Amino acid sequence: MGCDARAVAAAVRAAAAVVTAHRDELVRLDQAIGDGDHGENLKRGFGFVVQALDESTPDTPGAVLKLVATTLISKVGGAAGPLYGTAFLRAATAVGDATELTPELVAKALRAALEGVVARGKAEVGDKTMVDALAPAAEVGSLAAAATAAERGAESTIPLVARKGRASYLGERAIGHQDPGARSTALVLRAFAEAAS
């Protein structure tokens, strides 16, 4: 299928539905090593994104991604809102005003999203954050492979001590728990991959 603005908007709606369906799981993960709001933060944020898309679908993929970014940045607090917003904003810039996303543009957008999250949050792979899901995803060539890499990356956070974000206050007590932001990143990428297939 062509990956025009409508298709990207549909993929974003699919991601919103998946985040909503996994709200409680993400809350539980964040209760274990954070303050328990990650699932609700993302559910609310993507709810506002869907509202914005209901009002108007922008006419390029980049403009859709930018609408997602500005909505998440303005509506979602906490650490993840600005980080997710930055990821979508950099992805939007990376695809420019292309009317259809090619696999090359998707790969470029993923790399740009990672660079944005790292520039903003200063986390490296192994710090037990969403970077552990996004970094391996940005290294592969397709959305399907990115989703699988992100799922593995998210699972790789389970034995880690956190070095960024609230979970870093827990020291070794964070061991044994999957990072909620890494898990949500994997969920969003899987939703995108399935919508694009």
Summarize as ranges the residues that interact with ligand ADP (CB under 6 A): 30, 34-35, 37-38, 41, 78-80, 83, 117, 121-123, 129-131, 164-166, 179-182
Strands (E), 113-168: none
- Select 123 or 150, whichever has its Cβ closest to ligand ADP: 123
- Select 83 or 94, whichever has its Cβ closest to ligand ADP: 83
Contacts with Mg ion: how many residues (CB under 5 A)?
6
Q: Does 81 bind Mg ion (CB under 5 A)?
A: no
The answer to whether the CB of 57 falls within 8 A of the CB of 5 is yes
Q: Does 38 bind Mg ion (CB under 5 A)?
A: yes
- Select 8 or 26, whichever has its Cβ closest to ligand ADP: 26
Q: Does 30 bind Mg ion (CB under 5 A)?
A: yes
The answer to whether the CB of 120 falls within 8 A of the CB of 86 is yes
Burial of 98 (0-12, 13-18, 19+ CB in 10 A): middle
Pick the piece of the chain touching Mg ion (CB under 5 A) from 27-35, 45-53, 126-134, 144-152.
Answer: 27-35
CA distances from 105 to 12, 47, 113 (A): 17, 26, 12
27 binds, among ligand ADP, Mg ion, none (CB under 5 to 8 A by kind): none
Please give the Cα distance from 4 to 144 (Å, whole number).
18
**Min. distance of Cβ 134 from Mg ion in angstroms?**
18
Among 35, 54, 59, 124, contact with Mg ion (rule: CB under 5 A)? 35
182 binds, among ligand ADP, Mg ion, none (CB under 5 to 8 A by kind): ligand ADP
Residue 40: both structure tokens together: 């609700």
**Min. distance of Cβ 40 from Mg ion in angstroms?**
9
Which amino acid is residue 64, in one-letter code?
V
Instruction: State the sign of the Cα–Cα–Cα–Cα dihedral 120, 124, 127, 132.
Output: positive
Q: Does 39 bind Mg ion (CB under 5 A)?
A: no
Residue 56: both structure tokens together: 């108007």
The answer to whether the CB of 135 falls within 8 A of the CB of 153 is yes
Pick the piece of the chain touching Mg ion (CB under 5 A) from 9-17, 22-30, 95-103, 140-148.
Answer: 22-30
Q: How far apart are the first and last CA of the chain?
A: 8
Binding site for Mg ion (CB under 5 A): 30, 34-35, 37-38, 78
